[in-house]
A and B are shown apart, each in its own frame.
Chain A
């Protein structure tokens, strides 16, 4: 029995469906991310779990209890809002204490719990400041402390890091992950940032247009995307179209530009084309003769730790990243070969239309 379970959760606003048939099982102590572009229904799903949005259909079970129609202030769920939503007229310590006050926790215990959680987020020095006297990262920590101090059964994070600058975001990612593992709270995070979702979560739920597209651990979501949307949204990818040729045994010949691949098709195909996904970092630039595909470098960007090339090849335009090994790479206009190891190719399942 999972700890938090969503069954066919659906929310319609008039004729538009914000979230459709969301079914998800989350284990106790798990860190799960809802990942998707804006308008994919991830925030609506979060709001339904929090109780701010009434589901049109479906059920929410928390620890075996049906909380679908319970009021938000009776669910006891901890929430970190995107805007942090701190109480501007209260000091840090009063913000954190608010939830305990509402629960009528005795003063001595309250003092101890607030002290502990402030230490956990490294804010014990700033407890008498007001929110507007804090930096973005510090406000973020207050919001986290305020949500954690009530020892919630479930912690919801709504785009928690999106208002921070890049450097701080990375630091907070590590810290957030550490705190979650220390406290062990079942956590559901909503984000549109794939790197955030991959780095923090035990499992990633990829959503698109109100539906769950794929539920997987971060490695599998990246390496084995179920369709073209997942492969392009979770990380960057090259989507190519191959023509199906002759089949010999279990190997099918697939023509990709001037290259021919021998691959195993996972099932019968109705069209004579397949979609292929290759990650930019799995492509390799070689000299003209030894590559599987021929191409010419169109643009080149230096990104510090790696180079990003845009190559015109016979199979179409390819993005290729190469690690910066301290040497100048090939230049714009050079003829190059493009190569890859056999495991790098991912055949995408056929979209069932209709």
Chain B
């Protein structure tokens, strides 16, 4: 073997060790990534250790004061609690809506299937600000929802005002994040062998039982990865909570924004951003680990 190998022409220049080549080839992408994402993140991290004075501005010190402030203050506790409560609610609703939606889509016939899949994805095609302002028209103080409720005699017009409520934010976030759940579950459904469902039917299972006992366990990895995407995007969402929640219902992302642009306390804003990032990474990573351990044996 060694003899054979040595007879092959050596294509790599002698001054380059072979192990370096993959690094060199991926260098342009890696440098681009590090410059545009890594550098700002690093600068924010450094900034979060600085301190701030209303008279002097940012002072280049090194302390954990900003972090301590966020960790100790009930005001920030409420903001982070709200952020994750909203995210979890959004994930649950996306599963409840997205999984049946994907299943029905996968059962549709040829022209309708691709048509409705595109319809499902349309929320992603509209700018987030435009879409959220659309929600304002619907659920705002003088919005369509309130008028409809009043016209139907169900409730007072003010009951349709969901501005600055958790319901409004969750509603708008679910609207834009459901497609991510649908796509993940759809991908998992495509891998299903249709005869497995037939097998369950032939063994006497009813359609709901087949869905619960055979389909859902097999698309669980898709549901879980969809939940991850939805959770991460909901927890870091900015525009929707900013427009629909305003100052009254701050989430972590809007709180960081306010520290930067209203209070001008950049170091504190940076600390909030870093905590949000770290918390998200921890949640996502541990969730992923748990999932992998669970499905390695069964579904590979």
Residues of A bordering B, CB below 8 Å: 50-52, 72-79, 81-83, 85-89, 98-99, 102-103, 130, 132-133, 146-147, 150
Which chain A residues lie closer than 8 Å to B213 at the CB level?
Answer: 98
**Interface 9-residue window, one of B2-10, B26-34, B292-300:** B292-300
Does B196 lie at the interface of the complex (its beta carbon under 8 Å from any beta carbon of A)? yes
The B contact surface, by secondary structure, is helix
29 pairs from A and B in contact (CB 8 Å cutoff): A52-B198, A72-B198, A73-B202, A73-B204, A73-B206, A78-B202, A79-B198, A79-B199, A81-B195, A81-B199, A83-B195, A85-B193, A86-B196, A86-B199, A88-B218, A88-B299, A89-B218, A89-B220, A89-B298, A98-B203, A99-B204, A102-B203, A102-B204, A103-B204, A130-B298, A132-B298, A132-B299, A133-B297, A146-B203
CB–CB A102/B299 < 8 A: no
Residues of B bordering A, CB below 8 Å: 193, 195-196, 198-206, 209, 213-214, 217-218, 220, 297-300
Which chain B residues lie closer than 8 Å to A147 at the CB level?
Answer: 202
Which chain A residues lie closer than 8 Å to B217 at the CB level?
Answer: 87, 89
Which chain B residues lie closer than 8 Å to A77 at the CB level?
Answer: 202
Contact pick for A85, options B198, B206, B220, B300, CB 8 Å: B198
Which chain A residues lie closer than 8 Å to B198 at the CB level?
Answer: 50, 52, 72, 79, 81, 85
Q: Top 9 A-B pairs ranked by shortest CB distance?
A: A99-B203, A102-B204, A85-B199, A85-B195, A89-B217, A81-B195, A85-B196, A73-B201, A79-B202
Bound-state Cα–Cα, A77 to B206, Å? 15
CB–CB A83/B201 < 8 A: no
Interface centre among B200, B206, B300 (most CB of A within 10 A): B200
CB–CB B214/A87 < 8 A: yes
Bound-state Cα–Cα, A89 to B191, Å? 14
Given contacts A102-B204, A132-B298, 4 further A-B contacts (CB under 8 A): A72-B198, A74-B204, A75-B202, A150-B204
Which chain A residues lie closer than 8 Å to B214 at the CB level?
Answer: 87
Look across to chain A and name the residue whose beta carbon is closest to the beta carbon of B295. Answer: A89
Bound-state Cα–Cα, A87 to B202, Å? 13
Which chain A residues lie closer than 8 Å to B300 at the CB level?
Answer: 132
CB–CB B202/A72 < 8 A: yes
Tell me the smallest distance from the CB of A350 to a CB of chain B, in Å.
42
Which chain A residues lie closer than 8 Å to B218 at the CB level?
Answer: 88-89
Which chain A residues lie closer than 8 Å to B298 at the CB level?
Answer: 88-89, 130, 132
Bound-state Cα–Cα, A147 to B299, Å? 22
CB–CB A102/B193 < 8 A: no
Look across to chain B and name the residue whose beta carbon is closest to the beta carbon of A98. Answer: B203
Which chain B residues lie closer than 8 Å to A132 at the CB level?
Answer: 298-300
CB–CB A50/B297 < 8 A: no
Which chain B residues lie closer than 8 Å to A99 at the CB level?
Answer: 203-204
Contact pick for B204, options A52, A76, A82, CB 8 Å: A76
Which chain B residues lie closer than 8 Å to A79 at the CB level?
Answer: 198-199, 202
Which chain A residues lie closer than 8 Å to B201 at the CB level?
Answer: 52, 72-73
Bound-state Cα–Cα, A92 to B7, Å? 52
Which chain A residues lie closer than 8 Å to B195 at the CB level?
Answer: 81-83, 85
Bound-state Cα–Cα, A132 to B300, Å? 8
Look across to chain B and name the residue whose beta carbon is closest to the beta carbon of A143. Answer: B199
Tell me the smallest distance from the CB of A106 to a CB of chain B, in Å.
16
Which chain A residues lie closer than 8 Å to B206 at the CB level?
Answer: 73
Tell me the smallest distance from the CB of B296 to a CB of chain A, in Å.
10
Which chain A residues lie closer than 8 Å to B220 at the CB level?
Answer: 89
Bound-state Cα–Cα, A83 to B193, Å? 8
Bound-state Cα–Cα, A77 to B202, Å? 6
Bound-state Cα–Cα, A81 to B197, Å? 11
Look across to chain B and name the residue whose beta carbon is closest to the beta carbon of A79. Answer: B202
CB–CB A150/B299 < 8 A: no
Bound-state Cα–Cα, A299 to B201, Å? 53
Look across to chain A and name the residue whose beta carbon is closest to the beta carbon of B196. Answer: A85
Interface centre among B198, B200, B203, B205 (most CB of A within 10 A): B203
